[in-house]
Amino acid sequence: MSPARRRLLLAAAAALAGCAGPLPPLPAAPDDGQALRILVFRGGTAARLGHNHVLRAADLRVEWPEAGPVLRFRLDALDIDPPALRAGLGAAFASAVGDEARAGTRANLLKALDVASHPEVVVRTLQRLGEGGRQAVEAEISLHGVTRRQWFVAEVEGRRARGEVVVRQSDFGLQPFTVLGGLLAVQDALVVQFELTAP
C-alpha cells in the first residue's frame, strides 16, 4: 500500500472514530468470548407482513494468526431467531417468530445460500490501521464461492474487539429471497456484528 493511500485510510478511520457513536452492545458472548450475529431486514411493498431476522453463528471458530483473527462458521449451523437475541434488539425485532416460522426461514435460507455447495463462510483479517480504541480493518470475506475485500471499523479494548460490517448479498452472487413477485422480500444488505476475545 502506498504511503498516500495509508494516510488517507488513517484519516478516514479517524473521522469515523470521531463521528460514529458507540456500537450497539452484543449479547453476552459464550465462554470462549466469541460471538457473531447477522441482522436480516424485510423488504418489498408487503414488508409489514414479514419479519426482520437475527441469525447467530452457533459454531463460530476463530484462529489468531499474526495479521489478525480468521473467522469460520457453517451456514447450516446458524441459529435462526433465538428468542433471547430478538428480545434484546428492540422494536424492529419485537414480533413473535414461532417454531414453524423459524423452520420455514431456515429452509428458505439454506436454499437461497446454496448451502449444499458452499457450506462455510470465512472472514480473514488482512490488515489493521490505526491505534487506540478504534481501528480500520481490511478483511477478506469468502461466501458462496466468491471472495471479496471489505473495510470496516472495529472497537478494540484490551484483548476484546467488536465491530459491525454491512455485506450485500448481491456482491457474492446471491439473489435475496423474494416471494409473491417481490411483494415480500429480504433486503440485499445484511448487518454482521461480532465480538471477539484474543487468547
The tens digit of pLDDT for each residue in 134-149 reads 999 999 999 999 999 9
Whole-angstrom distance between the N-terminal and C-terminal Cα of the chain?
29
CA-CA distance, 196 to 40, in Å (whole number)? 21
Partners of 74 in the beta sheet? 120
- Sequence-distant (6+) residues with CB within 8 A of 11 are none
pTM metric for this prediction: 0.82
At residue 182 the predicted structure's pLDDT band, cuts being 50, 70 and 90, is low
The tens digit of pLDDT for each residue in 71-81 reads 999 999 999 99
